[in-house]
Structure formats: C-alpha cells, structure tokens
Structure 1
Amino acid sequence: MTGWDISPGGVQSVISKVREAAGDMNTGITLYGQSVQGAMEAAGTLSFGGESSGSHGRAAGLVAVALGKFVEGTEKDVAFLPLRAADSANGAVEATNAYLAGDLEQAWNAQHHATLPPDVTAFLEKARSKADGKR
C-alpha cells in the first residue's frame, strides 16, 4: 500500500472512458436482444394438425427454440460485461477518494472489493421482475 501514487485527474479521465464504453455496451446489448427477438420471430413456426393459419396448433420453430436456448445459456456472460465495468469504475473512484483522504486501508478495501465478480444472478432477477411489471 505504501507504493501508491494515484493521479486523480488520470483516474477521472479513465473512468470517463470506461463509463462511455459501458454505455455503448448497454446499447449493444439492447440491440443484440432486439435482433435475436426479430430473428426468432422471423424463423417461423412449426405447424401441428394441419393448421395453416392462426396460432392454434403452432409452436416456435426449431431455429427460434435454438436461438432462445443460446440466449438463455449466455445471458449471464452478456450481463457480466457492463456490471464488471461499472464495479471496476466505482471501485477506482472509491479507492481514489479514500487515497486522497489519506485512508490507505479503506482505499485498499475499495480496490479489492472492485475486483470481486458482480452478482449477475441478482441483477438478472431484478431486471426480470422489473420487466414483468411493465408487461
């Protein structure tokens, strides 16, 4: 801890860039979700019992099911990216503020906490419940 030499202006510059990139990631993730949803809808359906129109006797097509399973299997990885960026940026700010206040132990704790993996499961559950409330 005694070898720290933090430039608050440099930290702020990097944090600004990280937050901008995280915003771009969130935009990209939204577009990804919309694109997958569109692809699933365009992939067609399977027809059962000779039905030719309407939703009766129809189920999601194999491609749509595969896309859905892919999204389900990768959602934690996708959600991890912006959470990791946000946690790292916030940890850098907290560590810098503690360093400037002369509390190196608190700075180390903030830095260490920022290296821990974010709780993606809790984030996804919260996002789902929020989305369910809008439906």
Structure 2
Amino acid sequence: MGWDISPSGVQGVLTKAGKAAEGLSNAGKTLETTMTSAAKSAGTVTQGGHEKDGTMGLVAGALGQFIEAHQRRLAYIAARTSNSLTGAAKATNAYVQGDLDMAADAQREALKEPKIDLPGVGDGKGAK
C-alpha cells in the first residue's frame, strides 16, 4: 500500500474544517450567553419575578440543567475537533519531512565516490 498525499489539498481541507470549527465554537459561546440571559429573564419562583435571595424559577432551573448536561459534551466535541485537526496537520508535515529525508538520502547516495571493481585489477590476479 502506498501513500499519495497532497499537502496543499490537506491544507485546504484543514482550513475549511478550522473555519467550521470556529463557527461551532462561536455557537457554543453564544449558546452559553443566551441561555444565561434566558434564565435570568425567566424570573423566579415568586410572583413578580424578583426574589431577594435569587432563587430561580422552574424555567431558569431547567435551562441551567440543560446547559450543565450538555456542557461536557460540547467541550468534548471542541477538544476532539481541535485534536483531529492538529493530528492531521502533524501527520502531513511528517509525510512531507519523510519525502524530504528520502530525497536527501537518495542524493547523498548518488554523490558518493563510485567504487570500481574491475576483474584482475588490485586483486593480485591482474596483468604483470
């Protein structure tokens, strides 16, 4: 099995995926801000919506539980996405470096002094 990787193609995909991941991250930040605002706007358990001790109402509590339940999942998705993009970039760089190393090895081999081994020369069997 051979490898045929286009580093510029990988870079293009990583750029697009990075932009999509950035959008996902921004959506997560917006969700957190929006949910906090929504919870505050939902009011409290007392009539009139303002309780001095800050006890939240049922809707605010449900929104808080929702965020708490999904916050770990969202953080996992963000970390996994970042690790995947970084891993793909590192693997491609290693591939390119491997190509460069192989080319340098081949060039070194080509530049070595040739060894000429003619029959009868230097082996004591040659002409006298």
**TM-score, structure 1 as length reference:** 0.66
Q: Which has the higher strand share?
A: 1
Q: Which amino acid in structure 1 is aligned with residue 52 of structure 2? A: S
Match of 1:123 in 2: none
Q: Does 1:62 align with 2:58?
A: yes
Q: Does 1:29 align with 2:25?
A: no
Q: Which amino acid in structure 2 is aligned with residue 76 of structure 1? A: R
Among all aligned residue pairs of Structure 1 and Structure 2, give the percentage whose two residues are the same amino acid. 38
Q: Does 1:3 align with 2:2?
A: yes
* Structure 1 pair 85–67 and aligned structure 2 pair: CA distance change class (3 A): same
Q: Which amino acid in structure 2 is aligned with residue 94 of structure 1? A: K
CA distance in 2, matches of 1:88, 1:102: 21
For these two proteins, the number of residue pairs brought into alignment is 99
**SS of alignment partner, residue 91 of structure 2:** helix
**SS of alignment partner, residue 2 of structure 2:** coil
Q: Which amino acid in structure 2 is aligned with residue 6 of structure 1? A: I
The 5 A counterparts of 1:100-119 are: 100-102=96-98
Gaps of 5+ in 1: 104-135
* Structure 1 pair 63–3 and aligned structure 2 pair: CA distance change class (3 A): same
Name segments (4+ residues, structure 1) moved above 6 Å: none
Gaps of 5+ in 2: 100-128
Match of 1:71 in 2: 67
Match of 2:13 in 1: 14
Which of 88, 92, 106 aligns to 2:88? It is 92
Q: Which has the higher helix share?
A: 1
* Structure 1 pair 21–51 and aligned structure 2 pair: CA distance change class (3 A): closer
**TM-score, structure 2 as length reference:** 0.69
How much does 1:3 deviate? Answer: 2.3
1:4-32: per-residue Cα shift (whole Å, max 9, x none)? Answer: 21110000000101111111111111111
